[in-house]
Amino acid sequence: MEKLLIVEDDKTLSEGLCYILKESGYFAEAVSDIYHARKILEKETPDLMILDCNLPDGNGYVFCRELQNKAHGKILILTARNTELDEVQAFKTGADDYISKPFSTAVFLERVKNLLRRRDSHILVSDGIEVDLAGGRAYLEKEEIVLTAVEFKLLCYFMENKNQLLTKDMIIEHVWNGDSESADDNNLFVRINRLRQKVESDSKNPKRIITIRGMGYIWREG
């Protein structure tokens, strides 16, 4: 069940949105300010956050921009204003969609469904790591991991095939398009070790990228 977080200080609207979402089969919880939203985000990453732009302890646009460098689900901005400038500002700060008040229940639910569909097709999640395929970013426990292009392709390939043996030839074929001159066994070994240094708590005793001697590697989830 998808988890949704509503950050809205209008209690009537907040309770109404929670009811609508729960009736539609989602898990929804609501907070009235940024402080409590941060507390939730420290523990989990909701699939979608519905964020009001004007809150008692801050500006929703600023909070949205703050989240750009951290792992998070999709963000739908709510605002009482309906101008082109507000819409542009919402997208510039990292929001995935924007809806102005008042809005119909049907339109709101369609936007929620659309955002969740987009999230499902562009996000990989495994064992504390989240990869945004569309944005080309990866996160470990909500903190961004700085990866090279090859490391990013390696990570995606592993996570797309978690708990499956990937031979060296399979990896070279996928990541380097079969160019064995650019990716011999030694080069592959070096690249995987560098990736381990970024995604493992102890790269010498990896828990995620496991070597199967003489065969290849497995991304072990859990």
pLDDT of residue 222: 66
Which of 63, 72, 134, 64 has the alpha carbon at shortest distance from 95? 64
Question: Could you read off the pLDDT of 167-206 as tens digits, one per residue?
Answer: 998 898 888 875 555 567 788 899 999 999 999 999 999 9
Confidence band for 219, pLDDT divided at 50, 70 and 90: very high
pLDDT at 72 over 70: no
Global pTM value? 0.59
pLDDT at 27 over 60: yes
pLDDT at 83 over 90: no
Q: What is the mean pLDDT of residues 41-60?
A: 91
**Tally of CA atoms within 13 A in the half-sphere of 18 that contains its CB:** 15
Q: What is the mean pLDDT of residues 204-212?
A: 95
Interatomic CA distance for residues 217 and 169, integer angstroms: 11
pLDDT of residue 19: 96
pLDDT at 106 over 90: yes
**SS3 state at 171:** helix
Interatomic CA distance for residues 89 and 100, integer angstroms: 13
Confidence band for 128, pLDDT divided at 50, 70 and 90: confident
**Tally of CA atoms within 13 A in the half-sphere of 210 that contains its CB:** 12
Question: Could you read off the pLDDT of 141-166 as tens digits, one per residue?
Answer: 878 899 998 999 999 999 988 889 99
What mean pLDDT value characterizes the chain?
A: 87
pLDDT of residue 132: 83
**SS3 state at 173:** helix
